[in-house]
Amino acid sequence: MKKNSNASLLLGAAFLMATSAVGPGFLTQTTTFTQSLAASFGFVILISIIIDIGAQLNIWRIIAVSGKRAQEIANDVLPGLGFFLSLLIVMGGLAFNIGNIGGAGLGTNVLFGISPETGALLSGLLAIGIFLVREANQIMDRFAQVAGFVMIGLTIYVMFTAQPPVGEAAVKTFVPDTIDYLAIVTLVGGTVGGYITFAGGHRLLDAGVKGKESLPEVTKSSVSAIGIASIMRIFLFLATLGIVAQGLPLDESNPPASVFQLAAGNIGYKIFGIVMWSAAVTSVVGAAYTSVSFIRTFNATLEKYHKWLIVVFIAVSTLVFVIVGRPAKVLVLVGSLNGLILPVSLGVMLIAAHKTKITGDYKHPLWLTIFGIFIVIAMVYMGIYSLVTGLPSLWD
């Protein structure tokens, strides 16, 4: 019984992280970059998956071995660093969550014809309701799993109707016509940047999965999470590529919606509504849970009432969207900026991995340390390059 319980918990953590990554920004980024890079976007996906796995393996292992959340580890590395990291994570999480709420509103608008603002309010109330019940964590895990399977299944259907040039995509994945650093930084930021990579790691910690003896399970769960998000990314890429290859124009105001509609007509458009809503609400849940997990340890009162902090986080995100709104381009921008947070968070974890006061007698694998250092350097370089040359063009 305990084995089944552990398996369910590990799968739940994997899906929480994956569905936190697969939000409205994820859908928008994937279709936007496929439109501009065509089959060569496959190379961007491949590189981002390699970076995602390296970053997540390092971070989840250190959290598990230390038995501490990321902000506590950061404060152990350098007093005050945990507060700075938490500020970055919570700000990024809040920005993303406004977009997530907007995506939920858009999904309900497609499905039922109600205004995005009304749909956003209803979706926000549903997300809040998940955290108000006694078994909130278990319901969160199950909700993420069901929504994840629904999103992947429906996207596979649309991919087949789009009839993508799979052979060309396979070739360009390894021999691209062009390499886009902004796209790589954005995809990595949207998958393991900011709060996202910590979603599953902190979830496992809350469930008591920690210590050196748990590393095989933690490793399996962390790689599974990247795999789930990557499967969704690949199928959406192929669906979009099928439409782009036919020379059909995408609607700039809502690129992913036009992919689904052009591929499968009105049914495809309704499928998009389901996928968008599922992606958005699961991301709302993941962003709120993880962002609050970064501040709940700073004070006993915050820890005691952390569920109400999550409720406030979701409520604020919802109200900001309803009052201010959220343009699609900002989702791409925030994904890129989240990618710049990764070198900071991963760098802190790599330093912590080699401090005995944090990890005890644990010996972090040399290859993972080297892999992690390479990712930090590469993300800093590509991030700076993108800021200088790429991000301004988003506003042209």
Query: What is the full per-residue pLDDT of the chain (396 aa) written as tens digits?
Result: 355 556 777 888 888 888 888 888 788 889 999 999 999 999 999 999 999 999 999 999 999 999 999 999 999 999 999 999 998 888 888 888 888 898 899 899 999 999 988 999 999 999 999 888 878 778 888 888 888 889 999 999 999 999 999 999 999 999 999 988 888 887 887 777 778 888 888 888 888 888 899 999 999 999 999 999 999 999 999 999 999 999 888 888 788 999 999 999 999 999 999 999 999 999 898 889 989 999 988 888 988 888 899 999 999 989 888 887 654 555 555 555 666 788 888 999 999 999 999 999 999 999 999 999 998 998 888 777 766 665 444 444
pTM of the predicted model as reported, rounded to 2 decimal places? 0.85
Residue 174, judged by CB atoms within 10 A of its CB (0-12, 13-18, 19+), counts as exposed
Q: What angle do CA 87, 370, 345 make, to 5 degrees?
A: 5
Cα–Cα dist 338/321, whole Å: 20
Cα–Cα dist 19/138, whole Å: 15
Residue 82: both structure tokens together: 């945990």
Cβ–Cβ < 8 Å for 335, 193: yes
Residue 317: both structure tokens together: 């995100």
User: Among 83, 81, 362, 77, which Cα is nearest to 210's?
Assistant: 362
Q: What angle do CA 159, 334, 200 make, to 5 degrees?
A: 70
Give the distance, in angstroms, between the CA of residue 13 and the centroid of all CA atoms in the same chain: 13
Cβ–Cβ < 8 Å for 282, 148: yes
Measured on CA atoms in the order 36, 231, 110, 165, is the torsion positive or negative?
Answer: positive
C-beta neighbour count of 115 within 10 angstroms = 12
